[in-house]
Amino acid sequence: MPCRQAHPQHSACLRCQQTTECAMPSSATVAPKISAVLRSRSSWLFESTSTSSKESEEMRKMESDFDPLDLSQGIPYSGLARLRAEAPVYKIPSGYWFLSRYEDVLAAAEAIDTFKSSFRSPGVVVPEDEMLISEIPEPRHGWMRKILNSAVAVHSIGAVRPFVRELSERLLDDILKSGRGELISDFCVPIPNSVIAYLLGVPAQDFPLWARWADDVVQGDYATENRNERGEGFAGGFPEFSAYVDRKIAERRSQTDAPDDLINRMMTGDVQGKRLTDVELRTQIIFLLVAGNETTRNLIGNILARLAAEPELYRKLREQRELVPNMVEETLRVQPSAVYLIRDCIKDTQIRGVDIRKGEKVVFGLASANRDEEKFENPDEFRLDRPDPKLHLAFGAGRHVCPGAALARLEATSALEVMVERVAELRFEPGYERERIPVFWSDGPVSVPVELVAA
């Protein structure tokens, strides 16, 4: 039968790769059994299922080499738009299911009884005390999260604002001395690394060490394989970093008047009446460092790269500085640092009529959801006047929303406030071409070389 989807800009339907014939119904008709409850997001998405529907079988037969996880050329926004229109529940070449619509991603993120975090490669088993908080199963995840939330409380984050601002001013003053600089290495990297190290009570002279270690952890296959060429697990793969953290923990345990930092707060917290072991403490400290480094660095880098490329936008921001928070939120929506999240399906379910079996992997397409035409007006436009700027899913959603979201916002906002105050003009050095970082799940520039004029 004729393809029910109109593809004026494309040569073929993504579901079948045919230009004239398509056996797959449109996304509007793919799940008639749940269409009646589309008005209630809390109930419409997930259904237990024991049999495969015809639509589900047809969806499994999709033939396409489009891989939304391939970020080698940047985030594939045009391809993601096709997925939202033609195959919102899509099986990618690796066999993972990919969710591209906002409502699907939001509801799936909130369904903690159906999906659990899974960024490890199939077959990789990590000891429970070495699991990052994002992969700890419920109910232990909830208990562990209470400890981290208490340690990284909003009021304590607010107290660190003067440190963030003073650091941003000092870094920018050094750059302005020459009138040019590379903003990733000179500005974006030091801010999140120094902030999280400061919160953990690490001496300032050791901040550069933490920055290097954080890069080592996220770049390469360690995160997915739980090993590298040096060994297995964190202690085997990063012995110097591991030994450093272990020494800090031992120091805290020996102090009767330990400082009120994140290490001490996590040390004195408890899970089901039990304190965290040294290995658990080390693991979550590493999580805070890595999570607080990569995504925030890329957030600030993406903001500054856009402003360097759009002088009018930068001038507007200097004239209307109350829009700085909106600039941060719109960057998170349009160009999120975390492009997608990977989850394990832990019980049979159904999304838009498509059967997803227990044990299969599902990808939450954050970058795609943030540009969903049904959720955002003119989603590809960068606008500072959106009525609800925090509607995006850049930090995830539900119980597993990023625990460092408030800190990331504070760092990016403070850094940008200092930039618009101290810098009158910001532009790329001639000949700049963007190169993205070599991290499989994240998006940000390797460098942002600029010329600056002091205000």
| Three-state secondary structure string covering 360-394 | CEEEECHHHHCCCCCCCCCCCCCCCCCCCCCCCCC
Task: Measure Cα distances from 197 to 163, 277, 289 in Å.
Answer: 12, 21, 8
Q: Cβ neighbours of residue 47 under 8 Å, at least 6 residues apart?
A: 33, 34, 349, 350
Q: How many other C-beta atoms lie within 10 A of the C-beta of residue 51? A: 6
Sketch the domain layout of the chain as residue ranges. Answer: 128-454
What parts of the chain have a pLDDT lower than 50?
A: 1-63
Indicate the fold that domain 128-454 takes in CATH: Cytochrome p450 (1.10.630)
Give me the residue label for tokens 């110097």.
Answer: 240
Give tens-digit pLDDT for 218-236: 777 777 888 888 899 888 9
Q: What is the pLDDT of residue 218?
A: 74
Q: Cβ neighbours of residue 66 under 8 Å, at least 6 residues apart?
A: 14, 76, 79, 82, 83, 92
My answer on whether omega of the bond before 162 falls inside 30° of 0, hence cis, is no
- Mapped onto helix, strand or coil, the DSSP state of residue 233 is helix
Q: What pTM value is reported for the model? A: 0.82
Give tens-digit pLDDT for 395-418: 999 888 888 898 999 999 999 999
- Give the span between the Cα atoms of 372 and 364, in whole angstroms: 13
Of 134, 135, 41, 93, nearest to 351 by C-alpha is 41
Q: What is the pLDDT of residue 64?
A: 57
Is there a contact between 3 and 21 (Cβ–Cβ < 8 Å)?
yes
Q: What is the pLDDT of residue 133?
A: 82
Q: What is the pLDDT of residue 58?
A: 39
Q: How many other C-beta atoms lie within 10 A of the C-beta of residue 72? A: 9
- Give the span between the Cα atoms of 124 and 221, in whole angstroms: 12
